[in-house]
Structure formats: C-alpha cells, structure tokens
Amino acid sequence: METPHKQESTRKKGSRYEDLAEAYLSEKGYRILERNIHSRYGEIDIVAEDGSVIVFVEVRMRSRNDYGSPAESITPSKMRKILREAEMYLVENSLLDRDARLDVISILDRGQGTPEITHLTNVSEER
C-alpha cells in the first residue's frame, strides 16, 4: 500500500516533468491550453495548440531504458483511454471541426544533468 507521503511525492515528481514538457512545447511554439484534464476515462497531461491543430500530450518519464523508452510504457488500453478523453474534450469544447492529434513527450532522466526529451508526434496512428 502506498503511503500518503510517497503518493504526494509521486504527484510532485509528475508535475515537475509535466512542467518540463510544457516548457519544451512552449519553446517549440505550441500554445498551452490546459493541463491535467480529468474525466471518467482518465487524464490528459497537456492540451496545446500547434498552429490550428489541437494537440493532446501524454508525458512519460523513466530513469532508465532497461525495459524500453518512456513512450513504450503506454499500453494499448492507456492509448484507448487517452483517445476517448481527447474525443470528449473536443465535444465538450465544441472543437470537433478542428484537426487534432496525440503526441507523447518522453523524458529520460538518469539524474545526471539535463533530462533527455523526445517528442513523438501523432502517435495514435502508429498504434
């Protein structure tokens, strides 16, 4: 069973990596719309605009690559949940006329300086 202290530090850690991803996207010219969108399907870490495209961003972090990259940790079930959440977001915000895609920000942080950030675009078509 996870202790409240550990759970809190996990949330803080996740927020720190989402901050890194947000800064990365902003630097690339994306406009951040929202963060941590929740529904019955789950959560979307970041919603942004890349030009006229609505981009739903899943942020994944690992400290080692032993079992694959952070992006490879997204299961098909998690992918379906993210896509359902994205569809609900588009409906609820009257954005069905906009192009949309799912990106993944993969962060490898070995604790030795600047984390390595990899940005995978339009990943829903790859699965």
Residue 53: predicted pLDDT: 97
Domain limits for position 94: 4-125
Total number of domains in the chain:
1
Share of the chain above pLDDT 90, in %: 50
Rounded Cα–Cα distance for residues 75 and 125 (Å): 14
Q: Is the pTM value of this prediction over 0.75?
A: yes
Rounded Cα–Cα distance for residues 127 and 71 (Å): 12
Looking up residue 29, the CATH number of its domain turns out to be: 3.40.1350.10
* pLDDT tens-place string over residues 7-63: 546 667 668 889 999 999 999 999 999 999 887 778 899 999 999 999 999 998 877
Phi-psi category of 83—alpha, beta or left, where left has phi over 0 and alpha has psi -120 to 50?
A: alpha
